[in-house]
Structure 1
Amino acid sequence: MGKPKRKNVSPLLKEAAKTRRTDGNEEDDVELLEEDSTTGPDTGDGVIADLKKFIRAENQDSRKCITEEIKRCTEERMTALENSLSFALTVNETLSKRLVTVEKRAEQAEQDFLRCAKRLCTLESELDDIQQSKMMDWLIFSGPAVPRRPRNGRENTPQMLSAMLAQLLEFQIDMDQISEVHREDRQIRVRFVTSRSGSDRDILFRNKTKLRGTGLYIRESLTKQRLTIFNELSLMKREKKIATVLTRSGTVFVVVSQGERPRPVRGE
């Protein structure tokens, strides 16, 4: 037979036994040591095992709860993202349709605007032609040869104009062909009865080039738009950018280079 196994006694139990021996309870201490040495370690191992088992179970439950919570949160976030994406796609599709509609309307509005602008230009041109036709009977006499208007206003302007034309152009004007005369400083506006071919108005305007060097200028009365064009082209002529500018029957003509035929200018 082998030797009996020696029981392991915890150092804490030994220390407790020593303390009790000092109090005279040696026999009880031995029994306590034996009892503790018999039951203590086995009982501690069981508690530890149970504790480990409990911790494992708690860990498993915690892992399970955490996993489920993560899964739930992930699913909720995915659902929210899917809903947001679906909403964004719907909004984008709606905006795209609206954009197409707006672009079509804008294109239509631009076409309408161009038609209106074209029509407006046509109406303005027609109105300008009407206004110019009413001004065809007028001629404007100006330049240094025209004396200043007297301060007292006592002047027979038609007689003074007739004498000036007789002297500078050797032309005797028919007073019966004059309808209106408006005097301004160094300028006389005359309305004739008619502007048809062979009339005094026609003869005077066709012979205006014979007045070069006399200080007297004759020009047609023009609408505001045509006068602006004429003045701008006259400035270009002085700057030697064009050869000359002239008017015929209320239409402005430009000659860019010498030898070229006059070209009508219809707009600014």
Structure 2
Amino acid sequence: MGRNKRKTVSPLHKDGGKNPRTADVDDDGSSQAGQDGDGDVDVITDLKEFIRSENARNSKSLAEEIRRHNDERMTALETSLSFALTTNETLAKRLGEVEQRAQQADKNYRHQAERLAVMEEQLDQLQQREMHGWLVFSGPATARVPRSSRGEDTARQLRDLIQSLMNYDLDMSQIGEVQRDERQIRVHFTTVAAGSDRFFLVRNKTRLRGTGLYIRERLTPFRQWLFNELMKLKRNSLISTVFTREGTVFVVTSQHDRPRPVRSEAALERLWRHLAEQSANQRIEASHSPRDALF
């Protein structure tokens, strides 16, 4: 009895392959592919074709996924960069505003400092003008004038002291207010014109050297500070002398120098720098001066 044959299709081409390959199979399931193994070759070919198609599809999907991911990253990066640029521009603008405000504040501060310095100078001048008629007597010799509750008694005793030390008679009518403490006597003279007692005492106070009595003009706190600082320089032999005249502090740096006024702290600082440079130059000259040769 003859066998019935049926066509079998490779499972790799069930889904509509272009060239489906078939094999003749008997009713009992045996293949009639032939002795040369053409059926196995067809299966391998179909498998390769399937793998190539899957690889192509997977490669396309992977490329699309990578491209989409890169696009998302680029978008996020552009957004971050745009935000950073905007932030930097805002910060730069605010920094510029802060710098302008700081410059304006510094300008205002300098202006106010200049105005304050002018006001302080004007106030100092007014105070010194009020103290113009005052003289201060100090030193060990003032101990000879006993402390008294009455100003006129102190004035008469001071007159006697001046008479004994300077051989000069004070006019009691020119003496106004008298103040006394443990260390000094402050006297206000009613007139300061040339020929007055105050004028004579200021011009001839050097005659009191060695007597233990010192006479100086009454100064404002600031001018007194300038005078005290210059006295420190004199005690250190850095300047020749310091004195006051009509409330102005003068300094003489050397015997051949003429008096120069010191009216401000800036002038005092300039004097310090001048003395420092002078001292440095003297040291340099001394180091280069010829020395005795050793034989």
Q: TM-score range by the shorter chain?
A: 0.7 to 0.9
Determine if the alignment matches structure 1 residue 82 to structure 2 residue 84.
no
Displacement of 1:53 after TM fit? 2.7
Q: Deviations over 1:119-168 (max 9, x none)?
A: 11111111100011111111100011111776897993222211110000
How far is 1:92 from its partner?
2.3
221-230 vs 80-89, which moves further: 80-89
The letter of the residue matching 1:78 is M
Residue 184 in structure 1 maps to residue 181 in structure 2: yes
1:164 is aligned, of 148, 161, 165, to: 161
- Given the superposition, is the C-alpha separation of residues 47 and 72 from structure 1 closer, same or farther in structure 2, using an over 3 Å criterion? same
C-alpha deviation, 1:37, in angstroms: 7.9
One of 203, 208, 211 as aligned partner of 1:211: 208
> What are the within-5 Å matches in structure 2 for residues 22-171 of structure 1?
35=30, 38=33, 42-147=38-143, 156-171=153-168
Equivalent residues of 1:138, 1:221 under 8 A apart: yes
* TM-score for both structures, normalised by structure 2: 0.72
Could you tell me whether the CA contact under 8 Å between 1:148 and 1:186 is conserved in 2?
A: no
1:256 is aligned, of 253, 256, 267, to: 253
Distance apart, 1:232 and its partner CA? 0.6
The counterpart of 1:200, out of the listed 174, 197, 210, is 197
1-structure distance, mates of 2:129, 2:60:
100
Give the unaligned 5+ runs of structure 1.
1-30
The CA deviation at 1:73 is 1.5
Contact 2:145 2:157 in 1 (8 A): no
Determine whether 1:247 maps to 2:244.
yes
Distance 1:92 1:252 in 2: 58
Q: What CA distance in whole angstroms lies between the structure 2 residues aligned with 1:119 and 1:223?
A: 20
DSSP 3-state at the match of 1:35: coil
* Corresponding residue SS for 2:194: coil
Count of aligned pairs between the two proteins: 238
Distance 1:169 1:60 in 2: 127
Q: Contact (CA 8 Å) 1:244, 1:255: kept in 2 or not?
A: yes
After superposition, the Cα gap between the structure-2 partners of 1:139 and 1:152, relative to the gap in structure 1 and judged at 3 Å, is closer
**What's the offset of the Cα at 1:77?**
1.6
Gap change, CA 1:200 and 1:39, over 3 Å in 2: farther
One-letter code of the match for 1:112?
N
Instruction: Give, in whole Å, the separation in 1 of the partners of 2:198 and 2:52.
Output: 123
Secondary structure at the residue paired with 2:215?
Answer: strand
Q: Is the 8 A contact 1:149 1:184 kept in 2?
A: no
Percent identity, aligned pairs only?
54
Distance in 1 between residues matched to 2:110 and 2:194, nearest whole Å: 41
The TM-score normalised by the length of structure 1 is 0.79
d(CA) in 2 for partners of 1:93, 1:104: 17
Moved more, 61-70 or 121-130: 61-70
| Matched AA of 1:117 | A
One-letter amino acid of the counterpart of residue 142, structure 2: V
Task: Please name the residue that 1:267 is paired with.
Answer: 264
**What's the offset of the Cα at 1:224?**
0.8
The Cα offsets for residues 196-239 of structure 1, whole Å up to 9 and x where unpaired, read as 33222222111111111111100011111110110010110111
Aligned-partner Cα distance in 2 for 1:208–1:255:
18
Q: Which runs of 5+ in 2 are unaligned?
A: 1-25, 266-295
Instruction: Give the distance between the partners of 1:152 and 1:249, measured in 2 at CA.
Output: 30
Give the structure with higher Rg (CA): 1
Residues 39 and 141 (structure 1), Cα distance of their counterparts in 2 relative to 1, 3 Å cut: farther
